[in-house]
Structure 1
């Protein structure tokens, strides 16, 4: 906030300095507008700071909101599965797979084994004694997590450190860990996790670290085990399905065949999230609008304080033969010069701020949206110009 305030204050000084250095201004309206901006008692600094802060806030929140909504409402549904299937028993795996493929032969079906496991110790020490709940990866140790195992490195989980399973040690538990969790816990290759699996404590060695992207809602795990060891553990299956034709999926028939199955429809949850985001987006836009309105009130108050000066100035212009049209045009030019300089800096702050929030806080993909910036900038500019002209209206006909 203070950085923005200082930048916009400096901007006001730069604008004044730049306009003072301009020579050979032949247009009368331009001369008047430049004189109004650069005079000693000008409200240019107040206008630029008040308008700049409000516009920056609105553009930043708008960019954050549109990027977030795009990810949830468009990008994620395009790549996310249609359904999650939970609680597939060992004996029902083939029945489940056959049932799904009989409905849609082109379905993208992924079935993985899962087992509940809780991290009891890291290198012999209870991690809850030194890892606090505000740690980004605390969820990994907070409760029992579902873990899985695969023979090959998942294509969307590239290894960033270590090696894949050591097949010469099938009797030893080997763990491939989410690289971010490892960084957050200060865990390195070769460290030992003690896991609670069905009431039994088992030591496992961290043999590799993976870059895991949870954003596409596909099946991902913080911990993967080596199959040679994990296949001996009692387990069930988890599955996802993305249908070529969603209408072919018959939920009732599947539940009749497998009554213990739990089905989660991803679109239902995404719709709920989108609805919440729409409400939040409206709320932040309203808050930003209030900020801009407060800024406009400050500007209007400053104009009123200058009222006598403005009225005297316009009277002089009238005596000198200026038409009302030329006086109005000079006010418009004055506003355009100020607003254009404000928008350039506000857009820069909005792009930097929204990029940081989306990429670093939400860890989503940021995308520049020119349409949002242009429409909001033009809208704010038009409304502000109208309000300023209405405030100046009574000073246009001095007597």
Structure 2
């Protein structure tokens, strides 16, 4: 036979095999339930996260001007007047001005007071979008007009959180600074508040009202924002870039941070993308866990199709053709499952937008993008191929007589070279594809290595359990003896059980461990020397009297004082901050304004790690001390230069030394500490902290804050307790989102174990029937099964706790730069939950075994 004839014959045989597989699949699709569920859930998770991330990016692109408050926004700390900049921008389009600062709001008829994030707007506000209020403004009534002075009080809109802080309602009077305000409505939505997370509720007032409060004086810690809205005929991206370039060239030393509608919040974008990457990895973990279920499903399918495969081989089919028969069916089902999972994932952003709507903290613009669906489908198909290769290759080598036996799957030998190579190539393709489409290849590579190590360790633990169980002394108790025998018999559940459930327990332990340590590090383990309150924006003229006030009200408290200005790093070694390649842990120092100070001596809570401090009477060129971690992230050393813009003026200083700062002490700490002569004659405010012997929340806290707000209305106060409660609330919401995603791994684990139980169901029924004939009761069989699953659950819980704790400790120390503490109660809860989960699921999956009648299984077919 010629080569062409051979190829044609092989092609015809493959086509016939495919038709036979399709015909056989019509009545056997129900046997793929676990297979389908595992792939659908895994693909849905991956595609859903990718599609939601894309919807967020498109939402930013479509609503960028609304979210930013204009096409371009120019922000800096309030300093020298920006009249020239405003006039320049006015030639390009409509210009608006917003001032933001923190202030104390207090009830006019009660001593209660609270910190608020105050925003003062002019008559052009909002340039883009609209402010939604409750109750709504009358039709056609300008927003600015509602803020005007009326009956001796200016209008004020506030975040509904203010109601809980001050126990106020619409119509009540408030005092901010030297002015009374009437609360005329609640803020239901601000067009320019994306990513805005503050220490207090947001309030909006008019620029005229802010001027009357007396809060704005030289050195005030306020932030100026100029917004530009281009005319419709000149609002293309090219026009936007031209306007930004022209401003930068005209005012290169103005210190304005510029943001455009194309990227209104870079930090939020990075955070959402990183969070999406993290959730994608969790989804990929669930898909990999589901791969174990795919392998179990293929084993179960071979068991159910053993007679069909035996007939094919008896009629002359080779082992490869028999394996391809099952592979064709499996990949057809995998493709259909991947399509369903991709469709559900693509629908997720639309569902989020419909259900959650305006309550989402970021904009969504759902759209269907075939790239998200195809990438998820590729993940699903590669996962199915990688985990199906081994059982298929083992089945192809089984002789006809073995396939006809009830315990055919128990005769699997070691993995053959062909199957191992195919599985390894498919796994490598899966990992390579994940790297190719990942936005953080290092994180994905680390994840892949962790999964590989986890699989190897779990499989090693499973083999060790089987080894020791095989050599364990015979127990007198029949249920215990049967349970131990089930751990090591051919086709035992031990590897599948540990790999599937072990990854889920490890993931949940690691996530909850990191969250618990973050909360403990922020709140519960707060050092005793940490301050109870921060007081800032204290003007030089009232610093002494405010210090005396604190000393009188809290004679047993400890007071610390430091001068404070607001500035932004604009250049590093002469390179603009926007072009500096900063590490993840230091990028925040280049974004927005930072608090800076000057001192003649090393601040408390800091220690020098490199260089020397300047003399107290130093009068040379400006010097600066930088926090060592930030310096490392910016690749800075002694002698390098940093340029900051403070109060609208730029200042370049040489790095004289590096300090290690304990940020978790919550004491007065700064990234940049300058030599005193650097800001000679510049207006500045004072920052004071008060540390009370007892923790915040005592009875005198409210009285102290109320007295400070009444006697020093320009001074803003921050309670550490309230700040930590805010942070704890954010961590709680983040934890719910992460653990909800992690729970998907447990759902997949349940499916995997169901598939493993189904794969060995015939062998278990056959064994149970034999034991019943020999006199075993249903109670003893039930006890044996419960002991088996309890032993597997305990082994899985032990591994998951050890591996998850190690992972959590690594993340806490290396990524979050914090200490790690082990919480026994939490560990015990996870371990107990894993054991109960294993026993309940195992018994539910094998309950049918106990009710089978021996007669049907013992008679000849």
TM-score, structure 2 length as denominator? 0.44
- Of 271-280 and 82-91, more deviation after overlay is shown by 271-280
Match of 2:596 among 147, 151, 169: 147
1:228 deviates by 4.9
1:160 deviates by 0.6
Relative to 1, partners in 2 of residues 1:226 and 1:284: Cα closer, same or farther, differing over 3 Å?
Answer: same
CA distance in 2, matches of 1:53, 1:110: 49
CA distance in 1, matches of 2:680, 2:837: 67
1:41 deviates by 2.1
Relative to 1, partners in 2 of residues 1:295 and 1:200: Cα closer, same or farther, differing over 3 Å?
Answer: closer
Q: Corresponding residue for 2:628?
A: 179
What secondary structure does 2:643 align onto? strand
CA distance in 1, matches of 2:572, 2:513: 41
- Of 316-325 and 48-57, more deviation after overlay is shown by 316-325
Gaps of 5+ in 2: 1-450, 854-861
Is the Cα–Cα contact under 8 Å of residues 564 and 596 in structure 2 kept in the other structure?
yes
1:350 deviates by 0.7
Q: Corresponding residue for 2:495?
A: 45
- Of 303-312 and 82-91, more deviation after overlay is shown by 303-312
Is the Cα–Cα contact under 8 Å of residues 312 and 398 in structure 1 kept in the other structure?
no
Relative to 1, partners in 2 of residues 1:196 and 1:285: Cα closer, same or farther, differing over 3 Å?
Answer: closer
Is the Cα–Cα contact under 8 Å of residues 493 and 756 in structure 2 kept in the other structure?
yes
What is the correspondence of 1:79-90 to structure 2 with a 5 Å cutoff? Answer: 80-90=530-540
Q: Corresponding residue for 2:551?
A: 101
Relative to 1, partners in 2 of residues 1:105 and 1:173: Cα closer, same or farther, differing over 3 Å?
Answer: same
Match of 1:69 among 516, 519, 528: 519
1:156 deviates by 1.7
Instruction: Kindly indicate whether residue 573 of structure 2 is the aligned counterpart of residue 123 of structure 1.
Output: yes
Is the Cα–Cα contact under 8 Å of residues 567 and 594 in structure 2 kept in the other structure?
yes
1:199 deviates by 4.0
Larger Rg belongs to: 2
Identify which of structures 1 and 2 has the higher relative contact order when contacts are C-alpha pairs closer than 8 Å and 6+ apart: 1
Q: Deviations over 1:233-255 (max 9, x none)?
A: 33211112223464334333323
Q: Corresponding residue for 2:657?
A: 208
- Of 85-94 and 207-216, more deviation after overlay is shown by 207-216
What secondary structure does 1:280 align onto? helix
Q: Deviations over 1:58-87 (max 9, x none)?
A: 211221222122223322385542322121
Q: Corresponding residue for 1:396?
A: 850
What secondary structure does 1:159 align onto? strand
1:337 deviates by 3.1
Q: Corresponding residue for 2:504?
A: 54
CA distance in 2, matches of 1:89, 1:209: 29
1:23 deviates by 4.7
What is the correspondence of 1:367-386 to structure 2 with a 5 Å cutoff? Answer: 367-386=821-840
Relative to 1, partners in 2 of residues 1:381 and 1:101: Cα closer, same or farther, differing over 3 Å?
Answer: same
- Of 353-362 and 284-293, more deviation after overlay is shown by 284-293
CA distance in 2, matches of 1:302, 1:91: 76
What secondary structure does 2:525 align onto? helix
- Of 31-40 and 54-63, more deviation after overlay is shown by 31-40
Relative to 1, partners in 2 of residues 1:191 and 1:373: Cα closer, same or farther, differing over 3 Å?
Answer: same
Is the Cα–Cα contact under 8 Å of residues 77 and 267 in structure 1 kept in the other structure?
no
TM-score, structure 1 length as denominator? 0.90
Instruction: Kindly indicate whether residue 645 of structure 2 is the aligned counterpart of residue 193 of structure 1.
Output: no
CA distance in 1, matches of 2:743, 2:648: 56
Instruction: Kindly indicate whether residue 331 of structure 2 is the aligned counterpart of residue 331 of structure 1.
Output: no
1:26 deviates by 4.8
Instruction: Kindly indicate whether residue 485 of structure 2 is the aligned counterpart of residue 35 of structure 1.
Output: yes
CA distance in 1, matches of 2:796, 2:546: 61
Q: Corresponding residue for 2:762?
A: 308
Instruction: Kindly indicate whether residue 745 of structure 2 is the aligned counterpart of residue 291 of structure 1.
Output: yes
Is the Cα–Cα contact under 8 Å of residues 618 and 675 in structure 2 kept in the other structure?
no
CA distance in 1, matches of 2:683, 2:560: 20
Q: Corresponding residue for 1:281?
A: 735
Q: Corresponding residue for 2:776?
A: 322
Q: Deviations over 1:68-127 (max 9, x none)?
A: 222233223855423221211111111110111111101222111112333343333334
1:310 deviates by 1.7
1:303 deviates by 1.7
Q: Corresponding residue for 2:619?
A: 170
Is the Cα–Cα contact under 8 Å of residues 104 and 244 in structure 1 kept in the other structure?
no
Q: Corresponding residue for 1:157?
A: 606
- Of 82-91 and 318-327, more deviation after overlay is shown by 318-327
Q: Corresponding residue for 2:712?
A: 258
Is the Cα–Cα contact under 8 Å of residues 793 and 839 in structure 2 kept in the other structure?
no
What secondary structure does 1:396 align onto? helix
What secondary structure does 1:211 align onto? strand
Equivalenced residue count is: 398
What secondary structure does 1:205 align onto? strand
CA distance in 1, matches of 2:707, 2:797: 58
Match of 1:21 among 471, 485, 493: 471
Q: Deviations over 1:206-225 (max 9, x none)?
A: 11100112223321100112
CA distance in 1, matches of 2:576, 2:625: 20
Q: Corresponding residue for 2:455?
A: 5
